[in-house]
Chain A
Amino acid sequence: MADGNTINTSRRFFLLASAAGGGLMLSGCVTPGDTTDGAPALAATPSKPTAPLVDVNAFVAISPDGTIRIMAKNPEIGQGIKTMLPMLIAEELDADWSKVVLEQADADQAKYGNQIAGGSFATPNHWVPHRQVGAATRNLLLQAAAALLNVSIDELSTEPSMVVHTATQKKIAYGDLVADAAKMTPADPATLKMKDPKNYRIIGKDMRNWDSPRIVRGEPIFGIDVVVPGMKYAYFEKCPVFGGTVVSANVNEIKALPGISDCFVVKAAGTALPTKMGLLDGVAIIADDWWTAKEAGKKLKIQWDEGVSKDESSASYDKQAAELAKGKPQTNLSKVGDVEAAFKGAVKKVSASYSYPFLVHAPLEPQNCTAHAKADGTVEIWAPTQRPELGANGGYGLVTAALGVDRSKVLIHMTRCGGGFGRRLDNDYIVDAAAISKQAGNIPIKMVWTREQDMAHDPYRPGGYHNFEAALDKNGAMVGMTNHFVSFGRPNDKGDMTILASANSPPQEFPANYVPNHSFDQSLMMGGMPTGPLRAPTSNAVCFAHQSFIDEVAIAAGKDPLEFRLELLALPVPAGATRAGMNPQRMSDILKIVRERSGWANRASLPKGIGMGVAFYFSHQGHFATVAKAKVERNGAWRVLKVWSVGDVGSHIINPINAHNQAQGAIVEGVSHLSQKITFEKGRTQQQNFFDMPLIRIDHAPQIDSYFHLTDNSPTGLGEPALPPVLPAVTNAIFAATGKRVRSLPIENISWS
């Protein structure tokens, strides 16, 4: 300790304590597979408690047999939240994790608070409140024990699932106290003292995915697996052109086909805008099994009114973007310092244009929903959704508006999602199914989309175009930077051109507010497609452009790209600028760590065709610095050999084994994005399935070194922030390997000789 170095415990988890800035800085690392704590047995099926559960509050119920049921409130999309949030409650409850069973909550905001899988918000938003739920529940058990033993509550403490009378060491199991505890008055959570983190028994331990035993046995736990008595299956064909409507369809011919019980036209709720993610026009086919309904769809003859987007194409977008880039920007969104003077006095100027394509989410479980719009006016829904409630485009909002029912008449059961990535923040498939169920005669139906439909009707990650210029002084310092960003918009109700969802580039993007003179301009063209957030929205796109350009400027300045970034981070706040979000000290610290872990200093010895690149990014309250090592064959075939990722998401990694899984997944997804694109022709998506929209496979997944640097900041989320810097780290590595700068995605034509 004296030298500020490692204390190694029985687990390979260590903390480094060092005096930094006068305060105690906690740092260290957590590697996966440290312990077998929380390893579920293969045969484990949560057995029913031998005595009924007693509800203590909305989240916790305890059985006299000791079983503790904790409700998992948020949608589970693969981010591990079903396991992680209950860990926070269990910690302060001082529960014996082996006696805990987890249950997915229904979508009920009044009972559980906001339920959403988005923005990596779950960790920061629950870190205190969920531990308070645990502490308040524990306090009720302490109150019950105090009354039973006729002692003061101050004489009591707990050990896992037991209240202990300190003086006599008399122990009472939680199960024996629950009946009384449920009758006690809950304390104000703010008055309850929470644990000293050094006494944590659950937070910081590897707790394996709660649902894994059921998943590896193939049990039906996803939305697509739901079976409701009497249900039929639905296939739903929508217009391939965004916002198109049905003029007519051969529904009677389809109805007459063997095995088909019904076929009808569904009309959009409200106007069928091309950007809309709600109930759109289409034709539904109902059968006793889904495949039969889908096959009948091949015989559909639909006359569409293709609407306003029918002539739009990617080629036209690219052309418009190039013209806009040449012209005067439509809007200036940020200006700091004197950009003109900086460029006038520059010793060297660097200019480059970067672009990235539209992307599709493509969670592996196609969109589906089981819905029963009942004759009594109530609607019951089983669906994989990331946003059942929030806003007009939440599941409840869409269903109540389209079916004209009150919120109190609708119940959404949240199933496990076979991936989300932001796709299921939109609930169009839920309102599809609800409307079809109603129109089919109030029968329960399960609607499943084909993969082709999922590709054709996605809230796409928007493409974008960045036109950068940088000014360097005689010391190779970046003294000025401009960006003319070209993106997509559409007039709002008032006729004002408004940027499409997730199509923005934040004007304050680094190195804004670091470089002394900086300006951000924006021009918009009309976009005629639905757009929305894809994992690390905005960041997953603009990080590639900015962190690639910074690399390019570093090379032009004759500097090491990593050291150049450290220089930028050390710049004073320019006059007139305000910084928010990223903490330059935290970012510099992890850049230095990734420099060491990756062996950055030795990269000069790599042969041509192999290179290392660096990037960093702050998003979703997380700081990440990434180094990638890529290999490019002479013919242009490329592969990422290894990625080193260092993250600072605060003082605790709540569930390390899953945290590393999230970082690993984000890295693999980032590499996958480099080969993907969605393009449009005649107002429709050209890609159809995984043969023309490839997902990365195991042979191209890099080796990964994932490391978390612990700091004395409150913990933040991990679903997203590891992703953005992966893309530019790889393309910067490709430059180092080949001398070819990738300025446009997907990566194409990087052969070298």
Chain B
Amino acid sequence: MATYTITVNGKTEKVDVADGNMPLLWVLRDKLNLKGTKFGCGVSACGACSVHLDGQVTRACVTPISSVGAKQVTTIEAIGQTATGQAVQKAWLDVDVVQCGYCQAGQIMSATALINRNPKPSDKDIDAAMQGNACRCGTYVRIRQAIKTAAGVATTDTREV
């Protein structure tokens, strides 16, 4: 049994785990009862578990608790406390992106990080930043539109047609 101290959504959390390889995803979900971060594949292939580590998009399902250290963990539960995060959440509602909604926490985490580093993303930027987040329902048309809405840029799809 090992104890790790991590900072999640600004709060210091002490976590006891039997194995330091336990992924951050399962620490969040089963130890800290933060269920917003989702399990989809377990191998960093779908993006449902996306969180921020010091503002960088990170797949929590392949991030061992032992590797988190002093990095600030931000999850979907707290993303609305940032101006960008809140703008993204609002855009998601205005555009009515959601179908089943299971991937959307991860989508919002990736979209927020994108706008934070690139306040006026182009379609190409969106493609590059969001490729790691799968939506099985296929809400991509609206995800694109919502990111642009949140960023305050024209929502026209400028890709080749």
Is A55 on the interface with B (CB-CB < 8 A)? no
| Residues 311-360 of A contacting B (Cβ, < 8 Å) | none
In the bound complex, how far is the Cα of B52 from the Cα of A580, in angstroms? Answer: 55
Q: Mark A272-294, 1 if CB is under 8 A from B, else 0.
A: 00000000000000001111100
Residue on A with the closest CB to B34? A218
| Residues 99-139 of B contacting A (Cβ, < 8 Å) | 99-105, 108, 126-128, 130-139
B100 x A698 contact (CB < 8 A): no
- The winner among B39, B75, B95 for most chain A CB atoms within 10 A is B39
Is B33 on the interface with A (CB-CB < 8 A)? yes
In the bound complex, how far is the Cα of B103 from the Cα of A419, in angstroms? Answer: 10
In the bound complex, how far is the Cα of B136 from the Cα of A177, in angstroms? Answer: 45
Is B46 on the interface with A (CB-CB < 8 A)? yes
B138 x A668 contact (CB < 8 A): yes
Partner of A42, one of B26, B30, B42, B90: B90
Query: Could you tell me how many residues of chain A have their Cβ less than 8 Å away from some Cβ of chain B?
Result: 76
B101 x A78 contact (CB < 8 A): yes
A216 x B89 contact (CB < 8 A): yes
- The winner among A40, A225, A665 for most chain B CB atoms within 10 A is A665
In the bound complex, how far is the Cα of B160 from the Cα of A211, in angstroms? Answer: 34
* Residues on the B chain within 8 Å of A36, using CB: 94
Q: Which of A14-22, A131-139, A361-369, A536-544 lies on the face that meets chain B?
A: A361-369
Is B159 on the interface with A (CB-CB < 8 A)? yes
Is B144 on the interface with A (CB-CB < 8 A)? yes
Query: Could you tell me how many residues of chain B have their Cβ less than 8 Å away from some Cβ of chain A?
Result: 66
In the bound complex, how far is the Cα of B46 from the Cα of A206, in angstroms? Answer: 30
- The winner among A78, A208, A363, A696 for most chain B CB atoms within 10 A is A78
Q: A208-B93, A289-B30, A691-B43 are in contact. Are A418 and B102 (CB under 8 A)?
A: yes
A669 x B141 contact (CB < 8 A): no
B92 x A216 contact (CB < 8 A): yes
In the bound complex, how far is the Cα of B22 from the Cα of A666, in angstroms? Answer: 37
* Residues on the A chain within 8 Å of B134, using CB: 364, 690, 695-697
A215 x B101 contact (CB < 8 A): yes
In the bound complex, how far is the Cα of B45 from the Cα of A689, in angstroms? Answer: 8
Is A450 on the interface with B (CB-CB < 8 A)? yes
Is B83 on the interface with A (CB-CB < 8 A)? no
Is B157 on the interface with A (CB-CB < 8 A)? yes
Q: A42-B89, A690-B46 are in contact. Are A416 and B77 (CB under 8 A)?
A: no
A698 x B143 contact (CB < 8 A): yes
* Residues on the A chain within 8 Å of B132, using CB: 697
Residue on A with the closest CB to B145? A33
Partner of A291, one of B22, B79, B143, B159: B22
In the bound complex, how far is the Cα of B135 from the Cα of A421, in angstroms? Answer: 13
Q: A42-B90, A212-B92, A691-B43 are in contact. Are A363 and B75 (CB under 8 A)?
A: no
* Residues on the B chain within 8 Å of A288, using CB: 30
Residue on A with the closest CB to B43? A689
Is B154 on the interface with A (CB-CB < 8 A)? no
A259 x B33 contact (CB < 8 A): no
Partner of B30, one of A291, A657, A698: A291
* Residues on the B chain within 8 Å of A80, using CB: 99
A217 x B138 contact (CB < 8 A): no
In the assembled complex, 28 residue pairs joining A and B whose CB atoms fall closer than 8 Å, in A order, are A36-B94, A42-B86, A42-B89, A209-B96, A209-B98, A211-B101, A212-B93, A218-B76, A224-B39, A225-B35, A233-B30, A259-B18, A289-B30, A295-B19, A364-B40, A364-B100, A365-B38, A419-B100, A420-B100, A421-B136, A664-B141, A666-B138, A667-B138, A668-B141, A695-B134, A696-B138, A699-B127, A703-B141
Other A-B pairs beyond A79-B99, A215-B104, 4, CB < 8 Å: A213-B93, A664-B138, A695-B135, A698-B143
- Interface set of B (CB-CB < 8 Å, partner A): 18-19, 22-23, 26, 30-31, 33-43, 45-46, 48, 75-77, 79-80, 86, 89-90, 92-105, 108, 126-128, 130-144, 157, 159-161
- Interface set of A (CB-CB < 8 Å, partner B): 32-33, 36, 39-40, 42, 77-80, 206, 208-209, 211-213, 215-222, 224-225, 227, 233, 258-259, 288-292, 295, 362-366, 416-421, 448, 450-451, 629, 631, 641-642, 657-658, 661-662, 664-669, 672, 689-691, 695-699, 701, 703-704
